[in-house]
Amino acid sequence: MTDIETILARATDPRFTRPRILVLEADTGRVLLERAADRGAETASVMKTITCAAALHELGPDRRIATRVVQGSEPGEVVIIGGGDVTLSRVPGDGPTYYDSPARLEELARLTLAALDGNVPTRLVYDDSLFAGGEWLTGQWLEEDRHPEGYIPMISSLQVDGDREDPAADDSPRSADPAGFAARAFAAYLGGNPEIVRGSAPADAAELARVESHPIEQLVRECLKTSDNGLAEALAKLAVIERGEDGTFEGVRRGLTGVLRDLGVPLEGVELQDGSGLSDHIKVPARTIADLLRRARLREGALGMLDDRLSRTGPNGTMYSKRFTGENAVVGDAVRGKTGFINTVHSLAGIVRTVGGEDLVYAVFAMGEDMSPEDPSREAIDDFVTSLHLAGDALLAGQERISLPD
């Protein structure tokens, strides 16, 4: 079997269900192989490449997310204002949390009390108004994604530990009131049993204290590495607010689409819904994702940081440990990308280095119904990308693009 025949056999593997495939020469964008590449598909967590690109493009890599406390409108009143930092932690000291070295409520309380000369507030107002228009994408996200598995919290601009019941766990039950839960945890650090109410900060209120998240570029790395859904939704909302949209899910749809337009990425067939990819109403063609990642590979603007932060295979990489195993481990560290899964799609998109040292951009989606995390299509995707590593130089040597029937 020739190298091209090997790649074609992998691209037409019967374990693929309704595949969407695009392979590009990284340097030129030349199409090497395509199969239904312009047909919109659910992305699962590959959507996070769009979200993280938007965060880097709109917010910049060095921006930090602040959680602030300001003076209230009445004596003895303070207001905690959620800025969208879902990594903020209620864990005291340097205790273990899911996120690495996050900002801490305990420190925010200490700074607040210091600014008040030790006078304990009698009333605590919590302001979570930044992310307007509802905290849950009703009809598209499943309630069981919040409890018991806990894949995503209600999306509030004020929350701690991603609203995890266990602050150090990945999948942990989430509450129905993340902002209220965070406010009560903050009040406990303030002491004195203050009255706790939801409200808004007075205009031009004097700032008493603040703590800040890691820079956006580090949050992007975390989001792509762990596929954290709550962090992705927060980054999406912050990015679109920066460009003048509101913090609603409709604002996310408009704003993320606008970012892709600004970046020059193909928009035909694109229908966005959220920032995490949990929605099965999302429709994004393989061509859109591949074009975005090619621009990242070419280091256009801040997008180079997106490429740098993709998970990588190999013993020192951060790719999910069940990917590229067995015979596919031959890729070593040659594959980087973002994985995705919901019960209608397995997806993978990124960059693969051929044995000849050339980079190919790939986007691969295997569509289905009631798919499992271990669906055979997942291994079929890995097999295909492995074939690009081993035999992709033959694609580059060819003069004509290979277009496979749907």
Ordered by start, the domain boundaries in the chain are: 3-60+221-404, 66-214
d(CA 144, CA 41): 23
Residue 14, pLDDT score: 94
| Cα–Cα distance, 128 to 261 (Å, whole number) | 30
Q: What is the pTM of this model?
A: 0.97
The tens digit of pLDDT for each residue in 254-311 reads 999 999 999 999 999 999 999 999 999 999 999 999 999 999 999 999 999 999 999 9
The alpha carbon of residue 69 and the mean position of all alpha carbons in its chain are separated, in whole angstroms, by: 27
Query: How do beta strands 402-404 and 31-35 pair?
Result: parallel
Beta bridge partners, 335, equal 352
Give one DSSP letter per residue of 288-341, joined into a string: HHHHHHHHHHTT-GGGHHHHHTSEE-STT--S-TTSS-GGGGGGTT-EEEEEEE
Structural contact between residues 154 and 173, judged by C-beta atoms closer than 8 angstroms: no
Q: According to the model, what pLDDT value does residue 300 have?
A: 96
> What is the token pair recorded at 319?
């790719």
Question: How do residues 163-220 score in pLDDT, each as one tens digit?
Answer: 999 999 999 999 999 999 999 999 999 999 999 999 999 999 999 999 999 999 999 9
What pLDDT sits at residue 334?
A: 98
Overall CATH class of domain 3-60+221-404: alpha beta
- In angstroms, what CA-CA distances link 238 with 48, 81, 165, 244, 327? 14, 14, 24, 10, 42
Please tell me whether residue 197 adopts helix, strand or coil conformation.
Answer: strand
pLDDT digits (tens, 9 = 90+) for 164-176: 999 999 999 999 9
Give the model's confidence band at 316: pLDDT under 50 very low, under 70 low, under 90 confident, else very high.
confident
Neighbours of 347 (CB within 10 A): 30
CA distances from 358 to 2, 291, 333, 381, 392 (A): 19, 17, 14, 20, 9
